[in-house]
Every structure is written in C-alpha cells, then in structure tokens.
C-alpha cells in the first residue's frame, strides 16, 4: 500500500496529466472504471493500476499482467484529474499509431474542448468510424479526453497529427460538415468511405480545409439557432452516414 503522495511511482504517474510528459514517455492515464474496462476489453495491458481496494476489475488487470498497487485516498486524489475519485487510475502505453485506413472516418479539424474530442471518439466507435485528428486538435490521449470517451479509445483506429489531405490520399472521400449550406452538393451514395471533417468550435473549418472537401453536409435545424455543439453535430452526421442517409 502506497500512502505517500511523494512516492516516486506516484509522482511520475501524476506527471502524465501534462502533455509534455505524455510525449516524452509515450504513456497516459486511464482514470475510472469505464476507461480501464474499455482498455482491458480491447486487450490493452496497463503497466500499473493504482486502486483503493481490490475488486473484479483489478483482478482482471492482474490476470492480464498489470501490476496492481493499492494506494491511500490521498494518493488517488493526487493521481486523478477529478474531485473525490473512487475508481482506479492506471498508467498505460499509448498504442502505436497505425496507417489511415480506407474506411468511414471522422476528422477532428482543430476541436479544442477535451470533452468534445472524447465525445466524438465515443460516437465514432459507436458508429464504426475511424478517428483522425489534425495537429491543431486537443491531445486525443489526454486523460480528460479518455474520460470523456468512456473507454472507447481502444475500440477504433485513431491516427493523430495527420492532415485532411493524408486522409484523402488513403482513398477517403472528404466531406465538410458545415453549419450553413454553401451551395455545394451532398455526397452521393457511391462516395464512400466518407471522411467527415468537423471544424473548431468557434471558427469552424479553415478555408483550406473547406476547399479540400468534395462535398458538404449540413444538419438541418431551426434558423433561430446559430449552430449545434460541435460534438453533437459531428455525431449526428456520423449517425446519418451510418444509417446510409446523410443528414
């Protein structure tokens, strides 16, 4: 049982809340039972699980080969990014990034809010979409984003630091999700797989990104409202595409 918040394993793990340490080590934190469960179910073996007590989930981690370490509430408080944490916090290696596949894809083009990034990962996994994030997007492997995605990071292919042109080069048909129709056509039925471009919360897609798109999609809605939340708009468009009927 580790009781000291100055224990070196605890100090090193807590540093993974900072982007710089995640980059240097290639590791991140899985916080709470949902994220840990999602990782274990996808065959990810965390390096360490810090937990208040042993339970079904820590037993599964232990059997998979993870080092399960019991810690005090003070240590868990230091490790977790949330207030009054109860669930385990695990250290895991960020999966090696694979190639962009020629499948339906959501492209996060500068999404900044970690909650929105995580929500889009969760919806992408639910609707069978690959996730590609541009360099301007918030770190997809940040603990906060993993929490918001509720353990679904490991259920879909994720590629970061790519451009929309990289996605097009993989054989994906680029479609810009826009708040108001700009006169361009919607994708045809044969325009598959689709690369759905979702822009920044405040600024939307850049002019360059819009120009790279071969069609646009708009979620029809009341004119009294300017726009939907970016994660909601992207999720509705993925749902509509998955149903075979672009919004």
Binding site for its own copies (CB under 8 A): 115, 119, 122-123, 125-128, 148, 150, 152, 155, 219-222, 224-229, 231-232, 235-236, 239, 242-243, 247
Closest to its own copies by CB, 91 vs 142, is 142
Closest to its own copies by CB, 13 vs 233, is 233
Shortest spacing between CB 53 and its own copies, in angstroms: 20
Shortest spacing between CB 97 and its own copies, in angstroms: 20
Token output for 3? 């009781």
Closest of 108, 105, 117 to residue 205, by C-alpha: 108
Closest to its own copies by CB, 89 vs 237, is 237
Closest to its own copies by CB, 134 vs 152, is 152
104 contacts 197 by C-beta, under 8 angstroms: no
Token output for 202? 């405040």
Closest to its own copies by CB, 72 vs 239, is 239
DSSP for residue 96: P
* CA-to-CA separations, 3 to 69, 72, 160, in angstroms, rounded: 11, 5, 37
Closest to its own copies by CB, 71 vs 117, is 117
Shortest spacing between CB 122 and its own copies, in angstroms: 6
Shortest spacing between CB 120 and its own copies, in angstroms: 9
Beta bridge partners of 198: 108
Shortest spacing between CB 87 and its own copies, in angstroms: 12
Shortest spacing between CB 50 and its own copies, in angstroms: 22
- Angle between helix 56-64 and 32-41 (nearest 10): 40
Q: What is the dihedral of CA 187, 189, 193, 194, to 10 degrees?
A: 20
DSSP characters over 122-141: HHHHHHT-EEEE-TTS--TT
């Amino acid at each position: 049982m580790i009781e000291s918040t100055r224990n070196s394993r605890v100090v090193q793990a807590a540093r993974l809340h900072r982007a710089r340490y995640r980059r240097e080590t290639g590791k991140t934190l899985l916080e709470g039972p949902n994220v840990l469960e999602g990782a274990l179910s996808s065959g990810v073996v965390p390096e360490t699980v810090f937990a208040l007590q042993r339970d079904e989930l820590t037993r599964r981690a232990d059997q998979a080969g993870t080092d399960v370490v019991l810690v005090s509430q003070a240590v868990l408080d230091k490790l977790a990014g949330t207030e009054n944490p109860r669930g385990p916090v695990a250290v895991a290696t960020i999966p090696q990034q694979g190639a962009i596949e020629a499948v339906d894809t959501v492209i996060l083009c500068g999404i900044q809010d970690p909650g929105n990034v995580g929500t889009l990962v969760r919806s992408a996994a639910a609707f069978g979409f690959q996730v590609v994030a541009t360099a301007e997007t918030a770190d997809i492997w940040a603990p906060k984003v993993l929490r918001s995605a509720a353990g679904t990071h490991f259920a879909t292919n994720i590629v970061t630091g790519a451009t929309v042109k990289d996605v097009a080069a993989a054989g994906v048909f680029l479609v810009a999700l826009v708040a108001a129709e700009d006169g361009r056509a919607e994708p045809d039925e044969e325009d598959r797989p689709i690369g759905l471009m979702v822009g920044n919360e405040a600024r939307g897609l850049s002019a360059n990104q819009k120009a790279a798109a071969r069609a646009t999609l708009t979620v029809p809605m009341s004119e009294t409202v300017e726009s939907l939340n970016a994660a909601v708009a992207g999720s509705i468009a993925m749902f509509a595409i998955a149903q075979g009927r672009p919004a």
